[in-house]
Amino acid sequence: MLWLIVSDALSMCVSTYLSILIRIGPEDTNRYISMKFLPLAITIGIFVSLFYLNGLYETRRFSGYFRVFARTVAAVLIGMFFVSFVFYAKFSLAIGRGVFVMYAFFATIFVSLPRMLYILTAKKKVLDKRVVIAGTGEIARDVINLIKKYPSVLYRIVGIVRESVQKGNDSGIDGHETLGNIDDIKDIVTKRRVDAIIVTTLEPERQRVLKNLRACRYRGVEIIDIVSLYEEMELYVPLKYIDDEWLFSSIANYPSFHVKKIKRFMDIVGALAGLIFTFPICLIAMPLIKLNSKGPIFYKQKRSGKYGRPFRVIKFRSMYHHAERGMNGPVWSDEEDDRITRIGKWMRRTRIDEIPQLINVLLGYMSLIGPRPERPAFVKELSQKIPFYPERLNVQPGLSGWAQINYPYASTTEQSKKKLQYDLYYIKHVSFFLDCLIVIRTLKIVFFGGGR
């Protein structure tokens, strides 16, 4: 993703220079750029943001030339409309129409080109990483299916290596031949020009396999475990392949002191800014809630915070008052829940009902980004049914999060299990960049749909 952002920024700069050069001439190009530097810089930022919102940085999902080109054209057209609306409202910032049209043309070409080349290399397998799978069990089959699912990730399976002479057979898996056993791995790596080895073995063979792979690692061959492969390709941590050893080595010490301080500072700034900018929306939502159904405007509910400490989450009421009266304890909500009011459905879809949670962020009970805070009854139930579920309580719950933007609302145990995999990914990879990415994708959901 980062290389594409850098490529797009450079493409925008080249497009800017060429369009001005052709339209105005070489004598006045530098003077024009200095005069219009601010609107030109803002335009580049707007276009890059629209490329992201239109999925042009998700290389895993690049599936064809036409689709990528169509997405680029759509993003450029939307960008032209948006920039025109913003800048021509203040004429002093306006970019010349001729320059702007040529800029859009060059941007479409230069932004599409690297993506076309990426798809071409994926199809021709020019830059593929040549990998060997160490292991012959069901995990090896999972790896093969995973790589088939994302052909644009540029992995090419050279073959399979048995854990031992006794295990596995020479017939291979899904058409991939067996190259030998783990004791022959050094010769296989040299002969087949292997770039990486994906380890799929379990105990008791695992330690012996890793010992054999150590020599390959010293020769520059990348060793990839199954969990890391899932993290790279599916962007979550697969629960079925982790254990306590993985847990303590990967996420036991989250977060560092500096991460906590920076994250808290960003929470305060972001929550204050959010309350200010959404205040007009709140002024519209509050009377609509009262007009639509009887009851209070705000709804407070007990949730489990960090380390399981209970707190009251504040939301705009999206259900009828006393919606759980007569029910035997807390119940899951779903899209067809008849307890949700008409205004409530709209607020949930746009996430407006969650705006008051910014107050929880200011008070320190929540963060802007983190796992969704659940009700104590659900936490107790899910902790008994799902391994490692309490791990999500070791971090501050969030208004939005990696699980929230990658998976729909969970209303069953199985769905909660899948969301936990995304939560564990976030806990392991938490960073300022990842938080910013989640904020941007959350805004995309709010403005273009997809939320609940």
pLDDT by residue (tens digit) across 289-309? 998 888 899 999 999 999 999
Tell me how far apart the alpha carbons of residues 107 and 14 are, in angstroms, rounded to a whole number: 8
Per-residue burial over 389-425, b = 16 or more CB atoms within 10 Å of its CB, e = otherwise: bebbbebbbbbbbbbbbbbeebeeeeebbbbbbbbbb
Calculate helix-pair angle for 226-233, 413-429, nearest 10 degrees: 90
**Partners of 312 in the β-ladder:** 302
pLDDT digits (tens, 9 = 90+) for 164-203: 765 555 567 888 888 988 888 999 999 999 999 999 988 7
Judge contact between 135 and 178, C-beta under 8 A: no
Tell me how far apart the alpha carbons of residues 96 and 90 are, in angstroms, rounded to a whole number: 13
Tell me how far apart the alpha carbons of residues 388 and 147 are, in angstroms, rounded to a whole number: 27
Q: Is the pTM of this model over 0.85?
A: no
DSSP character at residue 336? T
In the CATH hierarchy, which top-level class contains the domain 129-234? alpha beta
Q: What is the pLDDT of residue 91?
A: 47
Q: What is the pLDDT of residue 94?
A: 55
Q: What is the pLDDT of residue 446?
A: 79
Residue 200 phi/psi, 5-degree rounding, is -125, 10
Q: How do the domains of the chain map onto residue ranges?
A: 2-124, 129-234, 257-448
Judge contact between 101 and 79, C-beta under 8 A: no
Give the strand order in the sheet containing 222-225. 178-181, 155-162, 129-134, 196-199, 222-225
Q: What is the pLDDT of residue 335?
A: 65
Q: Can you read off the two tokens belonging to residue 208?
A: 């012996």
Judge contact between 301 and 375, C-beta under 8 A: yes
Using 70 as the pLDDT threshold, list the residues of the chain that sit under it: 1, 60-63, 86-96, 122-127, 152, 165-171, 252-257, 326-329, 334-336, 448-452
Tell me how far apart the alpha carbons of residues 434 and 414 are, in angstroms, rounded to a whole number: 26
Judge contact between 375 and 302, C-beta under 8 A: yes
